[in-house]
Structure 1
Amino acid sequence: MGLATVYRNLRKLHQQGKVRCRHLPTGEALYAPVDRDQHHLTCVSCGTTQTLEQCPIHEMNVQAPETDNFKLIFHTLEFFGLCNRCRPKS
């Protein structure tokens, strides 16, 4: 199977809502199944990512709009900054 086939199928799965796609500052795209919410801290300098286990959105008790034509499946939350290695030392 060629890479073009892999990426074409990933795009199709993303359009169907079966996988999520995150784009890193480095230009890389990360795909993951849509089975739970995801939260990350991402360094804008080196692109390293740290997963947040606790969701600050859940603590705020944010509710999705209740409509007949929309069902909330998942959400993503990503904070961008500088990791300890990339942050200037003072």
Structure 2
Amino acid sequence: MSEKEFTVEDLKRILRDGAGEAKGVDLDGDILDTDFEVLSYDSLALLETGGRIEREYGISLEETSITEAVTPREFIDIVNEQLRNSVAPVG
């Protein structure tokens, strides 16, 4: 089991790195329950974000669960569930 937790700060960093930040959108505000659509992120941006998370955290995310996440809170829960279910490397 992984001890790492994926946080809203991790999500913000990866969103900014991969998809940028739309003009007039403040990711530093309380965004946990704001729809990705309102934050100007579409399904392609979420897939890119998911791919970056997979590479950085060494996990596999289901494409459908990523694109069905409506808010950052839902997305973070999906990532953390996968992190909890992943097997830590032996060594």
Query: Is TM (by shorter chain) over 0.5?
Result: no
Q: Which has the higher contact order (CA 8 A, sep 6+)?
A: 2
TM-score class normalised by the smaller sequence: under 0.3
Q: Which has the higher helix share?
A: 2
Q: Which has the higher strand share?
A: 1
Q: Provide TM-score, normalisation by structure 1.
A: 0.28
